[in-house]
């Protein structure tokens, strides 16, 4: 059973989606809007504070480990390994569009560092005095 099938079955059996609604998503060539925290972040969304996972299911995870030859050097032939791991899935209603992070300028960082240095000096004066 694929991860998509596992999610579909869990979403229908838990009542998050009716069988017809879930089938409509799949028929339209789309995935159900149930994703892990990391997947929502990758898509530019943030799970709202305090939200708990709508579904907890075991999904397939895949890893590749590079093989080694007799001399201990890594070779291209990678060994694939699949295993089941618990996944916490959130619905579209539990996320919001992530706000763009504005990087700080060098001047802002320097000013912040000066402020911290002044605070440290003030604490040292108080503790010595």
Residue 117 resides in a domain: no
Q: Residues near 30 by Cβ (< 8 Å), separated by ≥ 6?
A: none
Q: Which residues pair with 59 in a beta bridge?
A: 85
By residue range, what is the domain housing residue 42? Answer: 3-103
- DSSP 8-class letter at 124: H
pLDDT of residue 110: 96
Helix (H) or strand (E) holding 106: helix 106-128
pLDDT of residue 111: 96
> Which tokens belong to 92?
């579209």
For residue 24, name the pLDDT band (cuts at 50, 70, 90).
Answer: very high
Q: Which residues pair with 85 in a beta bridge?
A: 59
Taking only the tens place, the pLDDT of each residue in 83-127 is: 999 999 999 999 999 988 889 999 999 999 999 999 999 998 888
Residue 119 resides in a domain: no
Q: Domain total for the chain? A: 1
Residue 36 resides in a domain: yes
Residue 23 resides in a domain: yes
Residue 99 resides in a domain: yes
Residue 54 resides in a domain: yes
Residue 55 resides in a domain: yes
pTM: 0.68
DSSP assignment string, 6-42: HHHHHHHHHTSS-HHHHHHHHHTT---SEE-HHHHHH
Read off the pLDDT of each residue in 4-16 and give the average, rounded to a whole number: 95
pLDDT of residue 64: 82
Residue 72 resides in a domain: yes
Taking alpha carbons only, the member of 88, 82, 114 closest to residue 2 is: 82
Do 88 and 54 meet the contact criterion of CB atoms below 8 Å apart? no
Starting at the edge strand found earlier in the chain, the sheet holding 55-68 runs: 34-35, 74-91, 55-68
């Amino acid at each position: 059973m694929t991860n998509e099938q596992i999610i579909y079955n869990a979403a229908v059996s838990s009542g998050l989606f009716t069988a017809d609604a879930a089938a409509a998503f799949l028929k339209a060539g789309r995935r159900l809007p149930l994703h892990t925290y990391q997947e929502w972040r990758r898509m530019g969304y943030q799970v709202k504070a305090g939200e708990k996972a709508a579904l907890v299911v075991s999904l397939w995870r895949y890893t590749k480990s590079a093989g080694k030859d007799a001399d201990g050097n890594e070779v291209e032939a990678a060994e694939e390994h699949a295993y089941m791991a618990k996944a916490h899935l959130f619905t579209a209603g539990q996320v919001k569009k992530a706000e763009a992070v504005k990087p700080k300028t060098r001047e802002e960082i320097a000013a912040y560092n000066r402020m911290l240095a002044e605070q440290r000096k003030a604490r040292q004066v108080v503790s010595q005095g």
